[in-house]
Amino acid sequence: MRKPFTDQVALVTGAASGIGRATALAFANMGARVIVSDINPEGGKETLSLIEGLDGEAVFCQTDVSQLGEVKKLMEFCVSSYGRLDYGINNAGIGGAWGKIAEYPIEEYHQVMKVNLDGVFYCMQLEIQQMLKQEGGAIVNVASIAGLKGLANSGPYSASKHAVIGLSKSAALEYARKNIRINAVCPVYTRTPLFEKIFEVDASYEQKLLSLIPMKRYGTPEDIASAIIWLCSSQSDFVTGQAIALDGGLTAG
Ligand code: NAI
């Protein structure tokens, strides 16, 4: 049977780990050719091997999304590898330091903004340029529930994710008539290396944070990947400019 994303090309940034890896695998399972991109080559190549194990098709490109020159090379690599780009999943992100604004290290603030915000802007700009040439595509930016609400001790992270939602909505308005849909997903705490760093600071957070989620379970990378796949599929053809909370009910109350 023909898979739904056959002949389509998906780029996933931050695909060496966590949500990005689960999304790259989900695209490959659905028949897409995947550009696996990450700053970390070891993890990226592991994702590539996992895709090959599924008989999927993928290539790896090492990229630091905070560097415009590297993102330009990534986009050239997409087009030279597969000739097109149908889906851009801008997922690479960092948590940054944990601390109140008055004491927050300035260098760390700039680094969070460079990766989480500049990186998404650079990727979107170049993805949209390519999608305009092809007259269509879909972009999903991975924001966070911290893009919908404040997050004490993580102000710069929360600010960067609010900004990603603003960029996603604005771009959705700009390209609504160009067959390019742009959405953001806003995951709650999801069990990945990025999130589990919080438990290294204080192990008691594991139960404290869980108690905040009405469904009483953490997200899995696959929960987030499923929503991203839906947002790229024809099943969501009328959905654009949305910031969808994937949060076990957290923001409902
Ligand atoms: P992760 O740490 O497992 O994966 C993030 C990936 O991004 C890593 O492979 C890392 O090497 C890569 N990366 C970091 N800096 C990069 C850069 N400058 N250029 C390219 N790649 C870079 O983390 P996770 O949890 O899978 O995070 C993915 C996205 O999901 C992030 O944007 C994060 O903010 C977001 N998110 C995660 C949540 C969670 O609880 N895990 C909750 C809400 C949002």
Residues 243 and 165 sit within 8 Å (Cβ to Cβ): yes
Under the banding of pLDDT at 50, 70 and 90, the label for residue 145 is: very high
With a CB cutoff of 8 Å and minimum separation 6, the contacts of 74 are: 11, 35, 37, 61, 63, 123, 126
Q: For position 99, what pLDDT does the model report?
A: 95
pLDDT, tens only, 92-120: 999 999 999 999 999 999 999 999 999 99
For 104, what's the count of Cα atoms within 13 Å in the CB-facing half-sphere?
19
- Pocket (CB within 6 angstroms of ligand 1): 13-14, 16-20, 38-40, 43, 63-66, 91-94, 115, 119, 142, 144, 187, 189-190, 192-195
Average pLDDT on 202-212 reads: 93
Q: For position 170, what pLDDT does the model report?
A: 99
pLDDT, tens only, 150-199: 999 999 999 999 999 999 999 999 999 999 999 999 999 999 988 898 88
Catalytic residue selected from 82, 104, 122, 157: 157
For residue 141, give the H/E element and its range. Answer: strand 137-142
Ligand 1, atom 12: closest residue by C-alpha: 14
Share of the chain above pLDDT 70, in %: 100
Q: How far apart are CA 213 and CA 189, in angstroms?
A: 9
Residue 157 is a catalytic residue: yes
